[in-house]
Amino acid sequence: MTIARSNRNQRRLVRGVFLFGCVLPTLVTLIATTVAHSRRSASEALEEWKSTIEFQLGVNVDVKSMQPATLGVLLNEVTLRHPETGATIAEIRQIYLARAAKRGWIVECRYPTIESEHFPHLWNMLTDHFTNRRGSVDWTGTFAATNITWNDGEQLHTLPQLQCAMRHDRSSSRCILTYSHEEQDATQPARLTMVRSRPMQTSSKDGMPTTSYEWTTSHPLPLHWLSSWMPELKRLGKEASFAGTMNVKVVEGEGSSGELIGSIRQVDLAELVSRAFPHHVVYGSCDVEFSRLLWQNNRMTAVDGKLTSRNGLVGRSQAEAASIDGRPKSRYGLVGRSLLEAASHVGLEIPAGVFKLPTYRFTKISLEFHGLDDSLRFGDENDVVVVGGDENDTRLLVASGRGSDTAAFLRWLVPDTQHQVPATDQIGALTSFLQLPAVQPQGTELHVPAVRLGSPESSDGTPLVPPSPSHGGTDREESN
Query: Residues 447, 418: contact at Cβ < 8 Å?
Result: no
End-to-end CA, the chain: 169
| Burial of 144 (C-beta count, 10 Å sphere; 0-12/13-18/19+) | middle
Per-residue pLDDT tens over the stretch 144-167: 999 999 887 777 888 888 999 988
pLDDT reported for residue 289? 96
Q: What are phi and psi of 276, to 5 degrees?
A: -80, -30
The rounded Cα 168 to chain-centroid distance in angstroms is 24
pLDDT reported for residue 464? 43
Query: Residues 320, 336: contact at Cβ < 8 Å?
Result: yes
- Identity (one letter) of the amino acid at 52? T
pLDDT reported for residue 77? 94
pLDDT reported for residue 331? 37
The pLDDT of residue 291 is above 90: yes
Query: Residues 235, 276: contact at Cβ < 8 Å?
Result: yes
Q: What are phi and psi of 145, to 5 degrees?
A: -140, 140
Between the CA of residue 254 and those of 129, 250, 297, what are the distances in Å?
21, 7, 7
69 pairs with which residues across the strands? 72
**Residue 465: pLDDT band with limits 50, 70, 90:** very low
DSSP secondary structure code for residue 400 in this structure: -
**Residue 193: pLDDT band with limits 50, 70, 90:** very high
pLDDT reported for residue 458? 47
DSSP secondary structure code for residue 390 in this structure: S
Query: Residues 195, 172: contact at Cβ < 8 Å?
Result: yes
What distance in Å separates the CA atoms of residue 371 and residue 392, rounded to the nearest whole number?
30
Average pLDDT for residues 264-278, to the nearest whole number? 87
3-state class of 333 per DSSP? coil
pLDDT reported for residue 478? 43
**Residue 333: pLDDT band with limits 50, 70, 90:** very low
Query: Residues 163, 178: contact at Cβ < 8 Å?
Result: yes
pLDDT reported for residue 288? 95
- Over the range 264-277, which residues count as b (16 or more CB within 10 Å of their CB) and which as e? bbbbbbbbbbbebb
**Residue 424: pLDDT band with limits 50, 70, 90:** low
Bigger pLDDT: 459 vs 130:
130
Between the CA of residue 12 and those of 1, 5, 17, 20, 256, what are the distances in Å?
17, 11, 9, 12, 90
pLDDT reported for residue 438? 72
pLDDT reported for residue 300? 92
Model's pTM, two decimal places? 0.72
Strand 348-349, strand 375-378: pairing: unpaired
The pLDDT of residue 442 is above 70: no
Query: Residues 411, 437: contact at Cβ < 8 Å?
Result: no
Full DSSP string of 137-197? TT--EEEEEEEEEEE-SS-EEEEEEEEEEEEE-SSEEEEEEEEE-TTS-TTS-EEEEEEEE
pLDDT reported for residue 304? 93
The rounded Cα 171 to chain-centroid distance in angstroms is 26
Full DSSP string of 39-100? HHHHHHHHHHHHHHHHHHH-SEEEEEEEEEETTEEEEEEEEEE-TTT--EEEEEEEEEEEEE
- Identity (one letter) of the amino acid at 178? T
Average pLDDT for residues 442-446, to the nearest whole number? 52
pLDDT reported for residue 387? 55
| Burial of 18 (C-beta count, 10 Å sphere; 0-12/13-18/19+) | exposed
